[in-house]
Chain A
Amino acid sequence: VQLVESGGGAVQPGRSQRLSCEASGFYFSGYGMHWVRQAPGKGLEWVASISYDGLDRYYAESTKGRFTISRDISKTALYLDMSSLTVEDTAMYYCAKEGGGATFLDHWGQGTLVTVSS
């Protein structure tokens, strides 16, 4: 299993950014996927999840209405579209795979850093 995030970088407050996660080594269409973030020096914070078939999506209260999670089966890719970014969104963003039919994350990417600053 390999998960490779990209799309991080510096962005100004109020702007938008898209993160991508390329998945390989497993049957992408069969597993739920998540985004988890970690602000500098802080703990892990669950951001959003999407079901294996893309029909169900859930968001943390802190990101609801601003972030959109999606997946492209043909590209075996996971996305996070972020809008109205604030400095509080500055964090390392990890893509993670659900265990089969389970409520834990059994594989994580190395993360992509998003820095929101003017």
Chain B
Amino acid sequence: SYVLTQAPSVSVAPEETARISCGGNNIGTKSVHWYQQRPGQAPVLVMSADRNRPSGIPDRFSGYNSGSTATLTISRVEAGDEADYYCQVWHSTTNHWVFGGGTKLTVL
């Protein structure tokens, strides 16, 4: 099975830049998607296909994917960005959808 690895937590000060990584075998050959989940709420898609922002997602959010790591970058972090972030890919070999373990973003 395909495994996505995320750091459990990332902490940044307001107005700084947060980088949330997602590791996987040759993940650069896959399309990576990112979800934000605030406490007590359902997940929300914040980045699709490596670098595409859905409507309503601020341009402070950006994405990159190459080699063995995909990265979600949040610039000028705000208190409202505090949430869990999950990466996700579709594993074509099994037709399974795979989520990373999630990264908790804390805004100091």
From known contacts A109-B42, A110-B42, infer whether A49 and B49 are also in contact, taking CB-CB under 8 Å. Answer: no
Chain B proximity of A25: nearest CB distance (Å): 15
Q: Are A102 and B97 in contact (CB under 8 A)?
A: no
Q: How many residues of A contact B (CB 8 A)?
A: 22
Q: Are B98 and A46 in contact (CB under 8 A)?
A: yes
Chain B proximity of A112: nearest CB distance (Å): 11
Grouping DSSP codes into helix (H, G, I), strand (E, B) and loop, the B interface class, with mixed when no group exceeds half, is strand
Q: Is B107 an interface residue (CB 8 A)?
A: no
Q: Is B62 an interface residue (CB 8 A)?
A: no
Digitize A87-113: 1 where CB-to-B-CB distance is under 8 Å, 0 elsewhere. Answer: 000000010000100111110111100
Q: Is A60 an interface residue (CB 8 A)?
A: yes
- Among the stretches B18-26, B64-72, B83-91, the one at the interface with A is B83-91
From known contacts A58-B96, A104-B49, A106-B54, infer whether A43 and B102 are also in contact, taking CB-CB under 8 Å. Answer: yes
Chain A residue at minimal CB-CB distance from B102:
A43
Chain A proximity of B93: nearest CB distance (Å): 12
State the CA gap A105–B90 with chains docked (Å): 11
Q: How many residues of B contact A (CB 8 A)?
A: 27
Question: Which residues on B sit within 8 Å (CB–CB) of A43?
Answer: 84, 86, 99-102
Q: Are B43 and A94 in contact (CB under 8 A)?
A: yes
State the CA gap A60–B43 with chains docked (Å): 19
Q: Is B95 an interface residue (CB 8 A)?
A: yes
State the CA gap A99–B98 with chains docked (Å): 16
Enumerate the 4 nearest inter-chain pairs by beta-carbon distance, A residue then B residue, closest first.
A103-B90, A104-B33, A46-B97, A43-B102
Give 14 CB contacts A-B under 8 Å: A43-B84, A43-B86, A43-B99, A43-B100, A43-B101, A44-B37, A46-B97, A49-B97, A58-B94, A103-B90, A103-B97, A104-B33, A105-B43, A111-B42
A: residues with CB less than 8 A from B are 34, 36, 43-46, 49, 56, 58, 60-61, 94, 99, 102-106, 108-111
